[in-house]
Structure 1
Amino acid sequence: MSRRRVREEKVTPFNKVFPIMVRIALATTWIYAGVFEKLLKPGYLNPASTSYVGVTIQVLMQGPLMRGFLEAVVLPHVYLVGLLVMIAEICFGVFTLTGTMSRFVNTVAFYQNLIYFLSAYWADTEEYGINLMMMILDLYIVFNGIAGPSVDSLISKKLRKINDWKLWFIVGTIFYLSVVLYLYFT
């Protein structure tokens, strides 16, 4: 019989604090983007404003990589997409902060960041860096879950599937693709 070695991880203050810091940093970034950069900006959903989401889309369409996607999926539904992005960013922040459906939420957040990352990579290095960092942190939460007190930890005592990152990554991917396909075909 072979013995199976159990790897013991040394628990340090950093190991306990880092995941919580990731969670708070990511959640507050999402809440700031959704609330302060969109919800409280009166021009964000106003076509007559220079801060209208459609102006941003027009700028992003200058980049070669995502032009076709933006023309086919986003441009015909600029107002709806702007509204969905605003609501999603606020939800990503609140759900990440409370640790609710964290693997699903951060999978969907990953794709939202990926689309913006690929759309804005050529325009602004600051946006490039922020979105790259957020995609990495989204994946960190998808793979590792939420540390500290959370709704997920309460549910996981009754439902073990809440910790299955593969399941939630697939469900989040299907959800995001469903929204994109809905926009494309309507």
Structure 2
Amino acid sequence: MDSVTFPQDPICRPYRQLARNARLANARLDRACTALKPGEWEATRTSFFPSLKGTMVHLLDADRYYIDTLRGDLAGLAKPPGSRATAAEFAAERAEVDDWLIDFCEALTAEALPRKISIPWPDRTLTETVADTLLHVFLHGQHHRGQIHSMLSGTSVAPPQIDEFILTDNSEARVEDLQALEWSEARLTR
């Protein structure tokens, strides 16, 4: 909500923008998927994760995994993973994860960016900075949102536009999205 005030370190603005962009793009994809005909969300498609559901669940699980590495002393996610039986159930969990990442990035300071974190990997533990981990999370998300967008082309629902949210002078493209989240244009661009 817009009533929350966070420190606004200008060096951290790109991370805030990427987190907000992910939330808005995910919300559009979630709305598209909840409008699908029965069976389309789970239907086999051409992709590494062979369905819309499979790809979206992979992305959500990855985001939850990285949140666990980023959070440090911060509170984690309020709820464990849901059943994800429907696109609507999935969307509620997706929103919680996105909101956590936004809150994290809105509270981010330049001093926190070089902090080292440990990321358990199958054969070793990676040591990365908060900055590089966040960039990975956002790039990974954009990669899979592109796949989801492409898979929607083969459904009864047209793929939504998902890439224009961070341009300051393109506010007309996001009016409904900001209203749905109860965000102001000022929140998006700070």
In the superposition, the TM-score normalised over structure 1's length comes to: 0.29
Higher strand share: 2
In the superposition, the TM-score normalised over structure 2's length comes to: 0.28
Higher helix share: 1
Larger Rg: 1
**Greater RCO, CA 8 A, separation 6+:** 2
